[in-house]
Structure 1
Amino acid sequence: MQITFLGTSSGVPTRSRNVSSVALRLPQRAEIWLFDCGEGTQHQLLRSDLRMSQIRRIFVTHMHGDHIFGLMGLLASCGLAGNVEEVDIYGPPDLDEYLKASRRYSQTRFAYPIRVHTVQPGTVFEDAEFTVKCLPLKHRVPAFGYRVEEKDRAGHFDVEKAKELGIPSGPVYGQLKRGDRVTLADGRTINGKDLCGSTEMGRKVIYCTDTVYCEAAVELAHDADVLIHEATFAHQEAEMAFQRLHSTSTMAAQVALAAQVKSLILTHFSPRYAPGNPVELHHLLDEARAIFPNTYLAKDFWTYEVPRRLASTLSAMT
């Protein structure tokens, strides 16, 4: 599971940072899930190592332009290329109307199915491997944060040990791989857990932007492996942050600390903190790390590999 940042600026792009978009790459299923799609996102994808043809789901936080203006262009390009099978899009109530109007007035036709899902607090997607949940955040328009949960996996099944025990291959191996107890034809009862390594705990990735500090963000991020949180302003601009319902670096760190996450990645930075200005981004990083030490600054095209935790490791830590 890899996170690639395609846009880390807020409001408007800069020379080094595009507006909001984050790609979650799922190598085990050759899929990419996008979170927000600001103007120019398709250009960022072309400049990255990601394959546009693997985009399968797009999650939109809210309807502000720096989070959605790249959506129609990306969908149209995917259609013209003819290499995308289908796309599911999740977002606020107005998202479906926005896409319908854009298609109507641009006379755009897609050669692949697109399904738009209006999200409500709770589970918005689930399959055998993943669950995606959302909660409303606190912004000037309806905005949602997303929580991606990877389901736990059984540990590696020791085939050689099973053979040594004289367990015949076949459907019984599947039961043992799941950790089930199986009674063999000769009367022996085998505990599948004894033939499997430590359970691989599912990873949890949280995406929260745009929002001022709120309890919903803490709830959404509880015990996450990675929290991606906006940090539009430095701490000294807290009054402006409250007025505009955006977060400071310290607000993001307070969410991470309260939620007991493993890592915090800051993004969605105001252009005012460009190099050479009185306050630069490294100052925001210092502010956040004073509260939550395991904090990183995102930058465009940075890829972060989400580490996997074993059940035995988790037990030792608690």
Structure 2
Amino acid sequence: MKFIGLNHRFNFIGHSKTSFIIKLTHCKDIWLFNCCDGCQQSIVKQGIKINQISKIIITELNIEIISGLLGLLSSLNLSSRNKPLHIYAPLGLSEYIDLGKKYCHTNFCYSIYVHILRRGLIIDHMNYRIYTMLKYHYFEFIIVAREKYGKFSLNKANNFNIITGPLYGKLKHGFSFILPDGVVLNGYDFTDINDIGIKFVLIINLYHFRPSIENSLYVNLMQYKL
């Protein structure tokens, strides 16, 4: 997972309304957070194809946040996109998109699914999860990478004369086995400590909001704005 800012004001610890993307390198997926004016040009400058965008997350219904959204949707339409686009936003964004389509007398050749943001888990990806917290009229986000199993120790397996095969995978995933002589093979004894995974927090207002401060503890990356 790679984080990329989309304008000169961007900073992981900063004070600005901005857009940024999460690039999932293993599946060539792009998740876009907010769609400010000019973010489409910034995406192109980063050498990223806009057709790779699979999800757009809008933190609040503010014109500075969504001013570039209709332009991006139109560009995706002109690029002959055929795969669906998922947008996660507060209540009211669907009406904004419908009014934009009506004003421009246009329609999109691909499906757009607008998911209304609520507290809790909103995206359950195979490798990442995104949780939301509601604060007044905007949302704050926690992005957590799934736990990865530790590296399997071949030397320990050889010491127990374990034959190479499916049993290795079971032990790596933490399964335990009892041998005919009563010896217990505990999977966690054959692997290193599991990798908890990266934790990224997007906090809208750092001050006077206890849950935000608590959720920002022990994180790898944090962005906030006042």
Shorter-normalised TM range: 0.7 to 0.9
Give the conservation status (yes or no) of the 8 Å contact 1:96–1:116: yes
Normalised by the length of structure 2, the TM-score is 0.83
1:193 aligns with 2:185: no
Matching residue of 1:256: none
Measured in 2, the distance between the counterparts of 1:130 and 1:63 equals 25
Structure with greater proportional helix content: 1
Normalised by the length of structure 1, the TM-score is 0.61
Measured in 1, the distance between the counterparts of 2:178 and 2:79 equals 54
User: What's the secondary structure of 2:61's corresponding residue?
Assistant: coil
Q: Percent identity?
A: 27
Matching residue of 2:6: 6
Q: Aligned Cα RMSD in Å?
A: 2.7
Give the conservation status (yes or no) of the 8 Å contact 1:56–1:86: yes
Shift of 1:103: 2.4
Q: How does 1:1-318 map to 2 (within 5 A)?
A: 1-7=1-7, 9=9, 20-83=18-81, 85-138=83-136, 142-159=137-154, 162=157, 165-183=160-178, 188-209=183-204, 211=205, 213-215=207-209, 216-230=211-225, 247=226
Measured in 2, the distance between the counterparts of 1:159 and 1:109 equals 57
CA deviations on 1:168-203 (whole Å, 9 max, x unpaired) are: 444333321212213457865322222222211111
What 5-or-longer segments of structure 2 have no aligned partner? Answer: 11-15
Give the conservation status (yes or no) of the 8 Å contact 1:8–1:19: no
* Count of aligned pairs between the two proteins: 220
Shift in alpha-carbon separation, 1:196–1:28, aligned structure 2, 3 A: farther
Matching residue of 2:13: none
Give the conservation status (yes or no) of the 8 Å contact 1:37–1:67: yes
Give the conservation status (yes or no) of the 8 Å contact 2:144–2:198: yes
Measured in 2, the distance between the counterparts of 1:57 and 1:65 equals 19
Give the conservation status (yes or no) of the 8 Å contact 1:179–1:192: yes
What 5-or-longer segments of structure 1 have no aligned partner? Answer: 11-17, 231-246, 248-318
CA deviations on 1:256-290 (whole Å, 9 max, x unpaired) are: xxxxxxxxxxxxxxxxxxxxxxxxxxxxxxxxxxx
Shift of 1:70: 1.0
